[in-house]
Amino acid sequence: MQGLHLTADLHGCRCAPVWLLDAAALGQACVAAVHAAGLQPVGQLFHQFPASQHGPGGVTATVLLAESHLCVHTWPERAAVTLDVYVCNFGADHSDKARGLMDALLALFQPAAVHRNALMRGNAEAGS
């Protein structure tokens, strides 16, 4: 179960509005980024939230990976996004691929400010 879990909170995203508002477009971009990073998508779910009194509805894009998952949540009324990339390193170390995927998504959203976290999960020794 050892792996790398990356998260990022993006603020002041200067990307094209489509990436914050359109579930299908964001989903396609996520799957393309997963492939480009060398990871294997095995499932996906993209959901468009309805507009509310606070503004247009955001999007959640989830890509299930053979290595674990990618999840993106957008808040267009705040020009904000949260990113979550987790890769299990069972059988091979996918950490560099996870970092590449995160970097590609940061480039897509063009945030003015980013708060990033990296957590090494699990223990390499069995039974720990």
Residue 48 lies in a domain: yes
How many structural domains comprise the chain?
A: 1
| Domain of 12, in residue numbers | 3-104
Question: What pLDDT is attached to residue 123?
Answer: 72
CATH (domain of 24): 3.60.90.10
Question: What pLDDT is attached to residue 125?
Answer: 59
Residue 127 lies in a domain: no
* Residue 73 annotated as catalytic: yes
Residue 116 lies in a domain: no
Question: What pLDDT is attached to residue 122?
Answer: 87
**Statement: the pTM of the whole predicted model exceeds 0.75:** yes
Per DSSP, the residues of 29-82 read: HHHHHHHHHT--EEEEEEEEPPPBTTBS--EEEEEEESSEEEEEEEEGGGTEEE
- Whether the pLDDT of residue 126 is over 70: the answer is no
pLDDT in tens, 48-88: 999 989 889 999 999 999 999 999 999 999 999 999 999 99
Residue 111 lies in a domain: no
Round to whole Å and give the CA distance between 113 and 110: 9
* Residue 11 annotated as catalytic: no
Residue 109 lies in a domain: no
* Residue 15 annotated as catalytic: no
The average pLDDT across 101-126 equals 91
Question: What pLDDT is attached to residue 124?
Answer: 59
Residue 15 lies in a domain: yes
Check 68, 71, 95, 128 and give the catalytic one.
68
Residue 118 lies in a domain: no
Check 5, 13, 69, 88 and give the catalytic one.
88
- Whether the pLDDT of residue 128 is over 50: the answer is no
pLDDT in tens, 1-44: 789 999 999 999 999 999 999 999 999 999 999 999 999 999 99
Question: What pLDDT is attached to residue 91?
Answer: 85
Residue 46 lies in a domain: yes
